Amino acid sequence: MLKMILIGAVAVPTIAAGSVAATGVVVVDVREARNGQHIVVPVPLALAQVAAAFVPEEKMHMRLPREAQQYMPVAKQVLAALAEAEDGELVRVEEHNEKVSIRKEGDLLKIQVDDNGEHVKVQVPISLALSVLPESGNQFSASQAVWALQHARLTEIVNVQGRDGEQVSVTVY
Amino acid sequence: MRVRTLGLAGLSALMLAGTVGTVRAQASGGKAWVHVRVEEANRQSKVSVNLPVSVVEAALQAAPEDILSHGHIHLGKMGKRDLSVSDLRKAWNEMKATGDAEFATVEDEDETVRVARAGNVMLVHVDKPSGKESVRVEIPIEVVDALFSGQGEELNLRAGFAELQKRRGDIVRVKDNDSTVRIWIDEGN
Nearest residue to B167 (alpha-carbon basis) of B113, B131, B98, B119: B119
Q: To 5 degrees, how large is the angle CA A78–CA B144–CA B83?
A: 95
Q: What is the pLDDT of residue A135?
A: 66
CB contact under 8 A, B62 and A85: no
| Residue B89 reports pLDDT greater than 70 | yes
The domain tally of chain B equals 1
- B40 — pLDDT class (breaks 50, 70, 90): very high
ipTM exceeding 0.90, yes/no:
no
- B9 — pLDDT class (breaks 50, 70, 90): very low
Separation in Å, CA of A65 to nearest CA in chain B: 15
Nearest to B62 among A73, A89, A96 (CB): A73
CB contact under 8 A, A81 and B52: yes
- Mutation site for A-interface testing, chosen from B55, B66, B68, B186 by largest number of A Cβ within 10 Å: B55
Full domain range(s) for residue B155:
3-186
Cα dihedral sign for A45, A46, A49, A51?
negative
| Residue B1 reports pLDDT greater than 50 | no
Separation in Å, CA of A107 to nearest CA in chain B: 15
Nearest to A93 among B6, B58, B62 (CB): B6
Q: B-chain residues within 8 Å CB-CB of A78? A: 55, 58-59, 62
pLDDT tens-place string over residues B148-163: 888 887 788 778 878 8
| Residue B63 reports pLDDT greater than 60 | yes
Which pTM was predicted? 0.74
Q: What is the pLDDT of residue B19?
A: 42
Cα dist from A81 to A127, B153, B182, whole Å:
12, 31, 24
| Residue B65 reports pLDDT greater than 70 | no
Q: State the Cα torsion B85-B88-B93-B97 to the nearest 10°.
A: -160
| Residue A54 reports pLDDT greater than 60 | yes
CB contact under 8 A, A82 and B49: no
Q: A-chain residues within 8 Å CB-CB of B45? A: 93-96
Give the residue with greater pLDDT, B84 vs B28. B84
Q: What is the pLDDT of residue B74?
A: 54
Q: B-chain residues within 8 Å CB-CB of A92? A: 46-48
Domain spans of chain A?
31-165
Q: State how beta strands B169-175 and B179-186 pair.
A: antiparallel
Burial of A101 (0-12, 13-18, 19+ CB in 10 A): middle
Contacts of B137 by beta carbon, 8 Å cutoff, 6+ apart? B123, B124, B125, B171, B172, B173
pLDDT tens-place string over residues A86-131: 999 999 999 988 999 999 999 999 999 999 989 999 999 998 888 8
pLDDT tens-place string over residues A147-173: 788 778 889 999 999 988 899 999 999
C-alpha A125/C-alpha B167 separation (Å) is: 32
Provide the number of CB pairs (under 8 Å) joining chain A to chain B.
76
Least confident range of B7-11, B60-64, B173-177: B7-11
Q: A3-7, A130-134, B18-22 — which one is most confidently predicted on average?
A: A130-134
C-alpha B47/C-alpha B49 separation (Å) is: 7
Give the residue with greater pLDDT, B94 vs A113. A113
Q: Which residue of A has its CA nearest to B35?
A: A90
Using a CB–CB cutoff of 8 Å, tell me whether A67 touches chain B: no
Nearest to A88 among B2, B47, B189 (CB): B189
pLDDT tens-place string over residues A14-53: 766 666 666 789 999 999 988 889 999 998 988 887 887 7
